[in-house]
Structure 1
Amino acid sequence: MTIVKKKKRVSKKSKTAWRKHCDIADVEAFLEDQRLEERLGKFETKPDEELFVLDTKGEEEDVKPDIKPLSAKQLKRAKLAETPKCFHILINSSKVSDPNAKRNTVKQPGTKSTDLSKLSEKRQLEKGTLQKKLELMKKNKKLAVVKRKKGQTNRQRYDKDIWEKSELEAKGIPETLCDDFISPEAQLHNVPVTKRLRSKPPPPKTVVSRAAVEVPHPGVSYNPSYKEHQELLQEVVVHEQMMMKKQAHLQRVTTGMFRKITPQEKENQWLEEMSTGLPHPHNPATDQDPTEEPSDDEYKAINPPVQNKKKDHKTRRKQKERILEKEKLKRQKIDKQKITDIYKLRKIQASVSKKEQLDAKLREKRTSKRLQRATTALPALNAHKAPVKEPEFVDPKQLTGDLRNISGSASLLRDRFQSLQRRGALAASKIMMTKRKKLKKYYKPGHKVTDQDVDNFMKKSQAKAMATLLRDK
């Protein structure tokens, strides 16, 4: 037996209660169908060809044509003309006409020419610059098209003979290394795996006008004349004075800036600085001021009270008169300074012209010096600078007068190597000294070692360490 539920009577006084207790699904479905017909068009207005298909073949099986399937590349190219799926939502598929037929078209910002742009175009037309710009744009477009076509065209001439090169050149070795006196192993060793040589240093910007070999001073000879020896001695003295002056300057601006004090003075100074403002621990009675009167716990302000004394009319008038007088004096001083500056114009003009002439002379001098330095400048082979040559000098006591008793004071190999660096033939190098590890030495005891042998070994090691320390200092 089916139970029929009694309808529940509810109030439909408000809109929310009406929407809650009323079924409007059929109305919404009707409105949705109506909107769909507005977008896609009504069925009554569409022709039969769009709604129906005339079947003329019947139930016969369709014969698939023998079409070669497209490759992946061809499929990708075919999809280029299609609209991407991300832009499908932007396509207007509605059939509803615009309710406002007389809608104003809004142009993009920048498309409408302003009064200023019209004026500038008119001026360019009058001068002819606009026509030149258009012609230049057309010419550049033609050149770009020609360049693109030239890059796309393949080489039609095959006049290159791949067998004309030698075996070494075919391997990637340049002609500069294909010499008779260089072995093939050395040639192949200089060419990396990529068959390209290392980047060469940039060539010198200017021609080096230095001498091939620096001629030493005549006073360096084993048997020099007195005059030449004294000239060399004077050069060495000047060089040493410059070095001493430089060393003294460094000492003055570094170590000499700080005052030297003893440890006791430093401790006393530290105690004095740290105890500033604290009561003295030895004599507390001296901390109190004897001039102060004994207080009876009465509060006294540090600053006395200030009375709000009003200014009368006379005081304010005098104050205004003083301010006006000060302003008047200031104006008179400015006017007087203007008059004096007018009289000084001729003098200032003469000093400015003199300064300009002096600056022009200095500029010309610096330019000539720079050009002269550039003509004799070495090629920049690397970041290091060539070592500066120091003057050589032989003590008069060591002069022998013959080659038999002469003693060499310098290394010939180092001298020639630094000479090549100073003349730009070799790149300047930097000495890299590796730090040697300090080996710890100890005496290995044995059954035949006595205490005296151990003491002798310790004394020798201590003496060697002291000698090393003195040498380092």
Structure 2
Amino acid sequence: MALKMVIADVKKNKPVRWNKNKKKNWRKKISVSAIEDALDKKRLAERTGGPLDEKLDKELFSIEKHTSPVSNVKRKRERCLMVDKIISPNICIPKSISKSNVAKIRRQKQRREKIIELKACSKQKSNKAATSNVVTDIPLDIWSRDPVNLRNDVFHQTEIAKHTNNVIGKAQVKRPDHLLKRPYPDNVAVNVAHPGASYNPSLDAHQELLRKENKREILKIRAEEKIERAVSVDPTKIATVETASAELLEGLFDGVENKEENENSDQDEAMELIVCNAKRQKTLKTRKKEAIRKQELREKETEWADKLRENQVFSAKGILKEIRDKDEKIKHKMAMKSTRIIRPTLSATKYKEPDHDLQLSTEIKGSLRKLKPEGDILFDRYKSLQRRCIIEPRQKFKAPRRKYRVKYQEKRSFREIEL
């Protein structure tokens, strides 16, 4: 009887087992608390420095050694975080190192290394200064000078820096290095005119100047002609009243003519079919002849190709010369590019060289009294500023064209006035 009672108690305390192949039993009837507890313990171990089973004795235990005698002076109370208080009973678990502490330690190491490098550099400089007998320091009379001027001399301040400091009260912003490099080389403010433009030029110089200007004018005319060709329209292709009316009347009175044309076309097609059928019927003899002719043509073509290939051996000198000429042209272009002056783009319009002030051979006078000056000084100076990239090149302002005509209308109040 007692045995039966024990078995009954065991059955009562035994957990009920449910089928795990049904989804509804997963959430309601099967408890996962044991698995969750195990995972929580594993996560806690990872957070506190890893599982204890995998650690060595050196990592778990440490022997304290007191080098100095213990003093009776009470130490300052150290502030401790709540996390450290919780973990403090577990002496075997080391304190977790945060990322911020690691970064701080790294920064401190880098700072120490920099300080060591700077000290080494300063020692080298001091050794060099001691060995050299040349005096580098310039004596300055501090007491008898204005402090502002003294500061400017010591720090080598420019006039712009002085002005900004006086007006704004701030130091001048340091200019970047790329601003110190000039994008365009310095040109002469006043260029010497061509010798052919003098009041009494030599024949060769005058002809050379005329030749240059002639080339420029030809290029301008060609550009204008190109635009005209692109814009021009063929008058024969323009639609007129007659062509429009002819298009409207097309296909209205063609009923009778179409019947005759259809009959003629049917007869022509029948004749063509008969001729084609006659052509298709070839005898064996004609086929053999055509095959022999095709074979001869093929052999001739191959022979000619072989001859051309063999002949290329004799033209090797010419090919090599062409290659050399091409290489020289490329080198010349590269040299021209390197020597070419690249202007900085200050505006949308490009700088154009102005026309030379010249006189034709019929206009040249032998004496200065009969001389008529050509050109304008203001225009010449303006172009010089553009050439030296001091002023950006511009175009003359053109007022925008109106899309629609302006309509004028009298106001009603003005219209009602009668004189």
- State the TM-score, normalizing by the size of structure 1: 0.43
Identify the structure with the greater helix proportion.
2
- State the TM-score, normalizing by the size of structure 2: 0.47
